[in-house]
Structure 1
Amino acid sequence: MGDTLDRVDMRLLDELKDNSRENIAALSKKLGIPRTTVHYRIKKLVEEGIIEKFTIKPNYRKLNLGTTAFILARYDPASGLTQREVAERIAQLEWIYEVHIIAGEWDLLIKVRAPSAEDIGKIVVDKLREIKGIGQTVTMVSFVTVKEDV
C-alpha cells in the first residue's frame, strides 16, 4: 500500500466508515473483489495506521447529550502553562468531546455535548474558565447537525 491508497482502498474505507461491522463477505460483494483481498487490505490499512480503530456512532440524544456547542477560547501565556498543557486539561473535563489547537484570532476550539444549553453554560463558567491558562471564551450552541463524520 505504501503512501498511496488506490480507488479500492478508498471505497473500502468509505464502506467501513459507514458500517465498521460489515462482514468481509458483504464487503467483498459490494466492492467486487475476493474476500481474501478484502481481509488483506483491511489488515494492511490497520497495520499502516490508516485505520486507527473500529468504533460506533452513538445517538447522543438518546444518551441525554442532545445539545452540542462549540467553544472558542483564548490561551493566556501568563499562566505558566503551555497551550498544549491547557488543551490537555480541557480534554479531561466531562462532556468535552474534542479539543483543537487552532490558528487565527482564537487559540482553541472545543466541542461539548451535554443535556442542555444550561449544562453547557455550567461547563463554561464553572469548569472551563477556572482552568489556568484560559482567557476569553465564546460559546456557540448548535441548532442542528447536518453532517458529522465519526
Structure 2
Amino acid sequence: MAEDPGEGAVRRAAAARPLDPVDRAILRILQADGRTSVRSVAERVHVSRANAYARINRLVEDGVIRGFTASVDHERAGQGTSAYITLKIVQNSWRTVRGQLEELPGAAHIALVGGDFDVLLLVHTPDNRTLRELVLTRLQAIPEVLSTRTLLVFEETDLSPGAPLPE
C-alpha cells in the first residue's frame, strides 16, 4: 500500500529529535549559505565530515531542513514591487483558497493567521500595474475571498540567515 505523503511528513515531524548546539550551528551556517560544503560545515562546527554529513541528512529526513534555496534580490530579478496583501475569506475555505494562491505569479509566502483578517500573502511583481492586476483581477475573482487590503513594501530586510533558533 502506498504511503500518503502527508502521513510521512507527520511521522517525520513526530520523530524529530531535539536540536543540540552542533545542530543549531549547522543550521545557522546553511541558512547563511546553503551551498556551503559538508567539509566546511564540519570544520566550522568541529566535527568529522562523516558526522556533519549524517547530521545534515538527519535534519533533512526529520523535516527540520525543508530544502536549499537561493536568496533572491527581487528588485534585481525584475520583481521591484513587493506587497503584503491581507485577505478575509469564507469560513472553512482555507484549503481551497491556499491552492489558488499558490498558483499566483509572484506569490512568495502564504500564511493563515488570526486577527482582523484570515490570510497574509506576500507577493513580488515587476511593477505597480502588475500588482494592481493581480489584486483586482486574480485575487478578487476568487469566490471565497471576501475582501483584500494591500500594503505596499517600501523597503525590506530579510532576517532569515541570522535569525536565532529556538533553544
TM-score normalised by length of structure 2: 0.81
Q: How has the CA–CA distance of structure 1 residues 2 and 91 changed in structure 2, closer, same or farther, with 3 Å as cutoff? A: closer
1:58-69 equivalences in 2 (<5 Å): 58-69=72-83
Q: Secondary structure at the match of 1:136?
A: strand
Q: Secondary structure at the match of 2:136?
A: helix
1:28-47 equivalences in 2 (<5 Å): 28-47=42-61
Structure 1's unaligned 5+ residue stretches are: none
Alignment coverage as a number of residue pairs = 147
Does structure 1 residue 108 correspond to structure 2 residue 119?
yes
How far apart in 1 are the matches of 2:132 and 2:61? 42
The correspondence for 2:84, drawn from 58, 67, 70, is 70
How far apart in 2 are the matches of 1:106 and 1:61? 28
How far apart in 1 are the matches of 2:107 and 2:94? 17
TM-score normalised by length of structure 1: 0.89
Find runs of 4+ consecutive structure 1 residues off by over 3 angstroms.
none
How far is the alpha carbon of 1:2 from its aligned partner?
4.8
How far is the alpha carbon of 1:106 from its aligned partner?
0.3
Identity fraction in percent = 24
1:1-150 equivalences in 2 (<5 Å): 2-77=16-91, 82-149=93-160
Determine if contact 1:86/1:133 at 8 Å carries over to the other structure.
Answer: yes
How far is the alpha carbon of 1:88 from its aligned partner?
1.4
CA deviation profile, 1:73-94 (whole Å, cap 9, x unmatched): 11134xxx72221221122111
How far is the alpha carbon of 1:51 from its aligned partner?
1.2
How far apart in 1 are the matches of 2:16 and 2:87? 39
Q: How has the CA–CA distance of structure 1 residues 148 and 66 changed in structure 2, closer, same or farther, with 3 Å as cutoff? A: farther
